Chains A and B, each alone.
Chain A
Amino acid sequence: MKKLLALLLAATMVIGLTACGGGSTPTTTAKQEQPATTQAPAPAATTTALPAAKDVEITLWTYPIGKWGDDASVKALIDSFQKANPNIKVAVEYLDYTNGDDQVNTAIEGKKAPDLIMEGPERLVANWGAKGYMVDLASLWTDADKAEINKAVQSACFNDKGASYEFPVCMTAHCMAINMDRFKEVGADKFVNVDTHTWTTADFFSAVALLAESNESVGALYCSGQGGDQGTRALVNNLYGGTFTDEAHTKYTADSPENIKALEELSKTKGIKFDAAINGGEEINLFRQGVLDMAFCWNIAQQLNDTNAPAGQTNDGKEIVFMSFPSEKGESKLQGGIWGFGIFDNGDADRIEAAKTFIKYFAAGDGVKDAVKTSTYFAVRDKVNGADIAGIWADNAVMNEYTKLMPFLGDYYQVTKGWAEARTAWWNMLQRIGSGGDVATEVAQFVKEANEAASK
């Protein structure tokens, strides 16, 4: 009898607490979503009352996109925005490429996702947008935006159903870099064309062979995580003209003979290491320290970076030259980087509206110039509502030189379905090949895993 009583007591306690633990979830979400519908007319009412708009506080989470990861630079941008929109307060948080995704994912589960996020379509469109967490920004695109913004960029910001989860600001082409002093030292400089910044696959391997005579680590296929993985993909794809996905972005094609050949060549080339202990950022470090002779994770922001040494030099003062990835004819397809803003649907119409104002200001308004300059990348548009901004980098010789690479910008395939899972499978595959796995088998497994995610 007593035992039964105790059991009952325990059961009621457990049930009671489960009820308030798990059971009340729907009610709170309902409560949270309520304002979105009931308060929807509210902004309309306030707009008639004009600037009496009520104060809104929104959060912006940004990845380290050039100086968008630097607090002082971002504060200046936010200040200029708040001067124009005194009723909107913006709190900024900085993410990194190692843990940033996990941080956003946990925040989504914790229902504390930021209002605004700044990153590329591969995350905003292909991942969080596809999972239904983001606000469709299609209505934000005016005819002027559609006319002025780069077409390839536009298509990356919309999904196949015409919804847009990203409003783009800046872009670049990812490339690689070489330590020119080392190249000259071993006489490998004849293999690179420093004027066009291009080279062929044969030249690349000849240069690596020469460098490997005096350095056992010429280059590293870093694969400890996804950080900087665009570099390893671009290298593999370009060597023999393979592609990462099909043109329609429906399936992953890394198992093509070209890609397999590239990986096989790389894995047996002396001086090229598959390094599962480092990611892209650490590879850049090693390159700057003079350990590696080339870096595959490079772009204009790196070329302009002057944290430890003058821009364009390694820590010990050697000259850094940026190069396109080697390909058979010297005409590689560079991996594009696109960055812009997206809005998480937090169910609060006021905050969504404020976030849209923010986007309009920095992506299609007065703030574009500063936003782009802070990113140290290129603008996705030459004009903003008719006003010409093409000259923002006119005084920067390095930026001008870098524009030579922009015509090589290739397909932006990072919006293929299942992208987040596919990129995880990619670095796992590199790790397996690095520890002696058979290239064809491992690539086949990668494609299987990636396509499974794509077909979900």
Chain B
Amino acid sequence: MKRNAGLSRALRIRETRAGYLFMLPSLFFFITFVVVPMIICIYTSFFDSNMGKDAQDTFIGFGNYAELFQDKIFLGAMRNTVIIVAVSVPAVCVFSLWVANAIYNMRAGLTSLFRIIFYLPVVTGSVAVTVVWKWMYNNYYGIFNYALKNMGVIDKNINWLGDSRYALWAIIIILFTTSVGQPIVLYVSALGNVDQSLVEAAEVDGATRNQVFWKIKWPQIMPTTLYILIITTINSFQCFALIQLLTSGGPNHSTDTVMYYIYYTAFKLYRYGYGNAMGVVLMLVIAALSAVQFKLGQSKN
């Protein structure tokens, strides 16, 4: 008995040592470039800290946080962030599944042609794509106004990026086209890997197309769906370039996301402490979301 316990203890030490050795390279980068800045961020968020060589940081406790929840622009940015994520994540998933379902059993050449096409905006790069979209959205001679006017849908030009009613949606559309590429590729192969014998058996039993999809295919592509949900959520939260290059958060802060507003607070208003407080709030929200998402995903498995 005693010997056994001793052995397991030796094993445990060995495991711990090996575990940390394996973790070491990753932990180094994670702690140095993510955790440490986060701790500094949390620390500074309790100070009135501004840009300036001789600027003194004064401790104000939860002052920044108190101000945050009175700040209409911040609350609006929070709302926009939620809208972007809540709209684009399901839209991307549903759309890519639909497209993948339509193209996965075409002739091999066609499938890969479509796969390439839907992947194009991803590989073209968001900055290059933005250049074209900016022109397409142009108020005075952009292609959307041109087409819609010629078709008689609108009689006055719409200032897509300059009108707070449309600007956020204009951005979500671009985000959407640059996000669906990877999910489509993933779904095409996932669907291609579905056990064909099960599908055939079901069809013999007289199952409808819908039944086959939901009862046979859907459970089998579930892991892919989960992965897509995660990467799309991450991508949607990272949506920064589009906003910076197209609207700078305007008009009237209607396309501000918390991520962009942090940047704006730091470099247009020079208020570092306040920006960090925003970062901390966002951190808490996202951490909670991720934890919930993870727990849900785990319980399903």
Contacts and interface: CB of A to CB of B under 8 A. Distances in A.
Interface string A205-237: 000000000001100000111000000000000
Interface in A341-358: 345
Given A21-B32, A275-B162, A291-B141, A432 B52 contact: no
Interface stretch (B92-100, B182-190, B246-254, B278-286): B246-254
Interface in A276-295: 276-278, 286, 289, 291
A101 interface: yes
A14 B164 CA distance: 44
Contacts of A22: 36, 40
Nearest to B139: A277
A216 B268 CA distance: 33
Nearest to B54: A132
Contacts of A102: 263, 267
A225 B248 contact: yes
A73 interface: no
Nearest to A133: B53
A101 B37 CA distance: 24
Contacts of A18: 36, 39-40
Contacts of B252: 276, 428, 431-432, 434-435, 437
A380 interface: no
A22 B37 CA distance: 8
A131 interface: yes
A277 B160 contact: yes
Interface size class of A (residues with CB under 8 A): 35 or more
Q: Place the interface of chain B in its size category.
A: 35 or more
B127 to A, nearest CB: 12
B266 to A, nearest CB: 8
Contacts of A289: 141
Contacts of A286: 140
Contacts of B163: 276, 435
A46 interface: no
B87 to A, nearest CB: 22
Interface string B252-275: 110000000001001111100000
A277 B248 contact: no
B260 to A, nearest CB: 12
Contacts of B141: 289, 291
B39 A14 contact: yes
Contacts of A308: none
Contact of A224 (B156, B162, B263): B162
B161 interface: yes
A427 to B, nearest CB: 8
Q: Which 10 A-B pairs have the closest CB atoms?
A: A277-B162, A276-B251, A132-B53, A277-B161, A276-B162, A131-B52, A21-B36, A431-B251, A291-B140, A431-B252
Given A225-B248, A225-B250, 19 more contacts: A21-B36, A22-B40, A106-B267, A108-B51, A132-B53, A223-B251, A275-B139, A276-B161, A276-B162, A276-B164, A276-B247, A277-B137, A277-B138, A277-B161, A291-B141, A420-B268, A420-B270, A424-B268, A427-B250
